[in-house]
Amino acid sequence: MRLSDELPVDHKLATVYRYGSALCGLILLAFGALGFADELAPFNTQGDHVAGMSSNGVLSLISVIVGVVLVAGAVIGGNIASIVNMVVGTLFLLSGFAHVFVLDRPANFLDFGMSNVIFSFIMGLVILTFGMYGRVSSKLPHDNPYWRRRHPREAAQESLHARRRAAGAALSERATGGRVHSAAPGSGTGHA
């Protein structure tokens, strides 16, 4: 089983993946654009601030690239948006953990401060949540494609019951000529 086999192609969850990817991508694009507007030096670690976070030219460039990737995932939509959200969200979380250990050290070439680390954790969790929305809950509705994929026997039984109900309703409608008959109150017949 591949990951793409389990993801919905035409399901309402795809809208969540698309809008989440677009929103987070636009936030990152704005942060990167503000860094470029301030003409930050590429590897400056002197504490230049953009939107309350320390930044430099390389961090602005990375923000723009990741923002473009998220917006591209949103434009493509569906399975791709979900996968992009999960990968980028995971990378943000890993970046936050990695930068905790390099704060105030020469290895901190992106000029991360504690506000950047917190932003990385929050943004990573938000993006990851958008990517995994509707996939990991134990109480998924039965029309959810993830539930159907994980419970094929129950999904097949529910589909069979639904087809039988639809067939029964179609036969009933055909037998009555498309007319709906209701029982009059107090009468024993089913004709109005």
Phi-psi domain of 104 (left: phi exceeds 0; alpha: psi -120 through 50; beta: other): left
The whole-number pLDDT of residue 192 equals 45
Number of H helices, E strands in the chain: 7, 2
Whether residue 1 is predicted with pLDDT greater than 50 in this model: the reply is no
Kindly give, in sequence order, each residue whose CB lies less than 8 Å from that of residue 115, ignoring residues fewer than 6 positions away.
52, 53, 54
The whole-number pLDDT of residue 54 equals 75
3-state secondary structure of 191: coil
pLDDT digits (tens, 9 = 90+) for 120-143: 999 999 999 888 876 666 566 666
Whether residue 3 is predicted with pLDDT greater than 50 in this model: the reply is no
The whole-number pLDDT of residue 10 equals 54
Of 79-83, 116-120, 143-147, 162-166, which one has max mean pLDDT? 116-120
Average pLDDT, the chain: 78
0.75 exceeded by pTM: no
H or E element that contains 132: helix 114-132
Of the two residues 136 and 164, the one the predictor is more confident about is 164
Evaluate whether 113 touches 65 at the Cβ level (below 8 Å). no
Q: How confident is the model at residue 164 (pLDDT cuts 50, 70, 90)?
A: confident
Evaluate whether 183 touches 189 at the Cβ level (below 8 Å). yes
**Secondary structure letter of residue 49 according to DSSP:** E
pLDDT digits (tens, 9 = 90+) for 43-88: 666 766 677 787 778 888 999 999 999 999 999 887 788 889 999 9
Q: Could you tell me the two tokens for 32?
A: 């990167």
Q: Could you tell me the two tokens for 116?
A: 């950047």
